[in-house]
A and B are shown apart, each in its own frame.
Chain A
Amino acid sequence: MKARKLPLIYPTAGFAGLLFVLGAMWYAASSQNNTAVYLLLFALTAVFLVSIPHTLINLAGVTVTLESAQPTFVGQEVSLPLEVMNDSRATRHGIEVALPGSDGEHPRIDYIPARKAARVTLRFPARQRGEHNVGTLCLTSAYPLGFIRFLKKFASSRTYIVYPKPEGDVRLPSSFMHRREGNPLTEPGEGDDFAGLREYVHGESQRHIDWRAVARGQPLMTKQFAAEAEGVLYFDFFALRLVEVEEKLSQLTLWIIEAERARRPYGLRLPGNEIPPAIGQPHFHECLRTLSLFQVETPHTDPILSSVRRA
């Protein structure tokens, strides 16, 4: 990514302390005409001033690259994997990555040797469904003295997607669900006979994860049960007897996860959009993506993020 402008400079909390100490030294020196204190005052001032170009240079040649982010659900954490590259011929120290407007952790990279890269993950809570622009990424550094911080902005066109929060009735509707009337006839959804393992689907319930396999170092697997694999499901937006759109989307999301977990083909019908029944990861993600983008202008932009970019 290309840096937007010259790095911005702003004082840290320690700067106030430094100003106070310098003020105290100045007062002491001038009221007592104490030459040694003057020397101390000027030494501290000079050291602070000299640290400014050091901090600035600490960001020179450092760039950040975003990698594609995994989709996530509202209420979970967005993790943006990114690579901070040091193209310079010197080691860079104490670089923090921040995403303005997100209140997550700021990963701090203690050091990157010359021409090496560090991988970090930016994590913050997903608040709203939809496709979000990452917008501006910031690299900041206060090294070596920490009294001022330089901030370099990187514009990114990368987006990440947040699926609606899976919520509602866990029981899958019957395959006749597309009929408008009647209670959703449910079926157990889970049998008692163990039928094998399959890969864990992101977002689904963790109840059936084979934790013993995880403990052995294997990837996340879900136990499948015999009764699951039967019937085609059709999830209909109009058939839901819920009031709020978001509630409906949450219910549909939950069902999609459950259906995928149960390995039963499922279709989705939304106002103006219909996805024929199928099964598998691409279908799963297509459905969830359709749900997350439902009735929002794409790509969705956080008001906070856009304000930062205007600034």
Chain B
Amino acid sequence: MSTSMSKSGSMRDRSIPRRPLLWLAAALLFTLPPMFGSLVRWVPYVFLLALAMKFWMEPRGYRLRFATLKLILAAMGLFAIFASYGSLKGVEPGISLLVVLVSLKVLEAHTAREFQVMVLMGWVLCLCGFFLSQDFVIALSLLTAFALLLVALIQFYRGSSPGAFWPPLGTTGKILVQAAPLVVLLFVLFPRINTGLRVDFRANRLANPGFSDRLSPGSIAALANSSEIAFRAEFPGSTVTPPGSLYWRGAVMWNCDGLEWRAPYVPVSISSRGQSSSNNTIRQRITLAPHGARWMFALDRPSEIPPGAILARGDYLWSIQTIRKARRYEVVSSLGPARKELTPGERREALELPPSISPAVRELAQSWTTQNSNPRAIVNSALQFFRTGFRYSLTPGEYRKNDLEQFLFHRRVGFCEHYAASFATLMRLAGVPARVVVGYLGGEYNDLGHFFLVRQADTHAWCEVWLPDSGWTRVDPTTAVAPGRASLDLHSFLERGIASGQMEARRSGFLTQLARSRLFTNARLALETLSYEWDTRVLAFDADVQEVLLDSMGLANRGTFVLIIEILIVAIALLVTYFGWMQLRTRSRADRVKTSYERFCRKAARLGARRDPWEGPSDFSRRAALLLPDQSERIRQISDIYIALRYAAEPASVAVALDGFAKEVRAFGRYR
């Protein structure tokens, strides 16, 4: 029972003890992951440095004391942030500034009262982290930080109580478990009032991953190393995965400029007619990661449109609003060929060519037409052309949009976008209507969660040509160059390439081994499943989903205020329950003994033996036994047990004795 003095209730005199400080540092470390990769590199390092310095300074009694020094450091931080970002507006500079200020505060804080401030700042850093990323792993790390901050605070208020590790963790665990129902209640039911103060500062950050409306040489190869998730797809209602390769249609590009293709800025909406027989359709549930554009994906080719989207000319989905947060939708695709007429306008557009095509390329296309004017034969000769002498590579070197000749006749190294663009251009030269489709190919199947995970690295481009007998038909020239690419996701394909020595080795052998080991694969799949659940069940639960849920529960027309009051009542009831439970668990047994004995005294007083306040229990029992001779045996027994329970050292079976005592007291005075 150690005690300490504090001045007037505050804790100004005490410096921060070491144990809570360690917990705090651990918690703050967990707020770092979102900073790496989204803030300027030096900011998280400054934060780390400040934490390390704190541990060096604290035992020596050093701290940041002088106001001028603090101001100078803060100004330096401000200047460095301005220099790194070029502006102080926006979310990243703001968070960077906050991190720098927290670092300074950590260096400055010395007294115990400031500890609470630091913990609160830690929670603000968690908030900032969620602004930067809501990824599952990041969220896990931030929620760990949240809990560790709690541990630090509890350890701090425990003072010198014994136990540095488990007791504060246990208390934290207890509080978190008790808080869990409340969190669920608030999360599901608490009205998400939209303040309408929306600040659009995330567009510039989210637009970079994923493809754009322009397919230029190297634009997809640049994504090949990105493991960022594009979307996840489930196939509800069917246990088997769809046959064949999974071509996820994203956008259709009509405008040809040699090696560069472009999609219309604003696509023209078409109605979805019942284009195909209903027996060859597949329903998908897609959870799209926010990308700041309007692309939506579906298996080639979507026939039923999800709400909030249109079907654009070229049979691809186009969101009505920019996708800034994770979005989940269901879409039906028909796998069969589309029987559709080609309007003269479309035909003209699908044959349009840029003027800057070199004569050699024109000659190549002409040679196929003169051989056989059947479009199907032209397609085959073109594929035959690509099959010989071309190499599929992630690093094909730089091409400009007019380098078609360079690519076709000299360097002959390219990634999918080079093949798709050049193939479609050649088709148009040969008089076959052609267009380029951009989307994703493949994806990784997750056995645990039964879904496909499609990453940015799976971005792919292929062609569609108009054949009179089958309409728009998919032709993937990449398969001619690198057979097998279509049946695998890119990573597996590249791994296989490493094994056969055909592709450039991009990873070290050890990492490849590790990536292929069973344990690692299982862990990765489990993590992806959890991540999927986090995205679909937690993150997707936004104001709109909540409204639907409240509606289905019949709570929607209650009014926000009434709902809040009701939640409050439930919360208070829960808290009272917790309190009662804790009270019951920790209430002293001595109390029960005392209550029972007081009851006995009251009964005895009714019978005529009143106990004087100064009278000891044994004295009273002697006197009461004389006053009430017919109860004397019981009185003596009650007094003996009472004395034993009250004054003797812990008897062996307190509970039994206590129950017996209560029984005796109940029975007392009954027979008279």
Contact = CB atoms under 8 A, between A and B. Distances in A.
Interface of A: 13-14, 17-18, 20-21, 24-25, 27-40, 42-47, 49-54, 56-57, 60-61, 87-91, 93-94, 96, 98, 103, 105-120, 140, 142-146
Contacts of A118: 1, 3
B348 interface: no
Contact of B116 (A47, A111, A146): A146
Given A25-B123, A87-B590, A94-B157, 17 more contacts: A17-B117, A31-B197, A32-B198, A35-B542, A44-B146, A47-B179, A56-B579, A57-B579, A57-B583, A88-B588, A89-B586, A89-B587, A106-B7, A108-B5, A109-B2, A118-B1, A119-B1
B395 interface: no
Nearest to B153: A145
Contact of A36 (B199, B202, B539, B579): B539
Contact of A109 (B1, B178, B588): B1
Contacts of A25: 123, 127
A33 B200 CA distance: 12
20 contacts: A14-B116, A21-B127, A32-B131, A32-B198, A34-B130, A40-B123, A40-B143, A45-B182, A47-B175, A53-B578, A60-B583, A61-B586, A89-B588, A93-B158, A96-B9, A107-B6, A112-B1, A113-B1, A116-B1, A118-B1
A243 B296 CA distance: 98
A98 B10 CA distance: 12
Nearest to B7: A105
Contacts of B585: 89-90
Contacts of B347: none
Contact of A18 (B120, B161, B182, B183): B120
B159 A43 contact: no
Contacts of A87: 588, 590-591
Contacts of B134: 34-36
Nearest to B572: A49
Nearest to B200: A32
A299 B162 CA distance: 43
Interface stretch (B187-195, B208-216, B265-273, B491-499): B187-195
A33 B542 contact: yes
A113 B163 CA distance: 13
Contact of B123 (A21, A30, A120): A21
Contacts of B116: 14, 17, 146
Interface string B139-154: 1001100100010011
Given A14-B116, A35-B538, A40-B146, A53 B130 contact: no
B74 interface: no
Contacts of B153: 144-146
A61 B579 contact: no
Contact of A33 (B117, B192, B538): B192
B161 A144 contact: no
B159 A108 contact: yes
Nearest to B4: A108
Contacts of B52: none
A30 B187 contact: no
B575 A50 contact: yes
Interface string B31-74: 00000000000000000000000000000000000000000000
B110 to A, nearest CB: 17
Contacts of B150: 47, 145
B387 interface: no
Contacts of B161: 91, 93, 110-111
Given A106-B6, A110-B2, A42 B190 contact: yes
B568 to A, nearest CB: 10
Given A38-B187, A53-B578, A93 B157 contact: yes
B279 interface: no
Contact of A50 (B158, B178, B538): B178
Nearest to B545: A35
Contact of B579 (A27, A34, A53, A98): A53
B239 interface: no
Interface string B565-591: 000000100011011001101111111
B515 interface: no
B320 interface: no
B157 A143 contact: yes
B543 interface: yes
A50 B182 contact: yes
A33 B575 contact: no
Interface residues of B, number: 75
Given A89-B586, A89-B588, A98-B9, A142 B146 contact: no
Interface string B1-28: 1111111111000000000000000000
Contacts of A14: 116-117, 120
A152 to B, nearest CB: 14
B541 interface: yes
B586 A44 contact: no
State the majority secondary structure of interface residues on B. helix
B151 to A, nearest CB: 10
A295 to B, nearest CB: 33
Closest 3 CB pairs of A and B: A110-B159, A46-B182, A53-B579
Contacts of A114: 586
Contacts of B8: 103, 105-106
A103 B8 CA distance: 7
Contact of B127 (A35, A37, A50, A96): A37
Contacts of A18: 120
A93 B5 contact: no
A116 B656 CA distance: 23
B636 interface: no
Contact of B588 (A36, A54, A61, A93): A61
Most A CB within 10 A of own CB, among B131, B134, B198, B582 = B582
Contacts of A53: 575-576, 578-579, 582
B325 interface: yes
B382 to A, nearest CB: 49
A113 to B, nearest CB: 7
Contacts of A35: 134, 325, 538-542
B159 A40 contact: no
Given A17-B120, A42-B190, A144 B157 contact: yes
B126 interface: yes
B102 interface: no
B160 interface: yes
B222 interface: no
Contacts of A120: 3
A33 B130 CA distance: 12
B251 to A, nearest CB: 26
B139 A36 contact: yes
A94 B158 contact: yes
B171 interface: yes
Given A87-B588, A145-B157, A42 B4 contact: no
A46 B179 contact: yes
A195 to B, nearest CB: 41
Contacts of A20: 120
A21 B120 contact: yes
A42 B183 contact: yes
Nearest to A34: B130
A3 B187 CA distance: 39
A20 to B, nearest CB: 8
Interface string B477-494: 000000000000000000
A90 B189 CA distance: 35
A234 to B, nearest CB: 43
B187 A39 contact: yes
Contacts of B401: none
B88 interface: no
A304 to B, nearest CB: 14
Nearest to B186: A42
Contacts of B588: 61, 87-89, 115
Contacts of B543: 33
A54 B187 contact: no
B586 A60 contact: yes
B641 interface: no
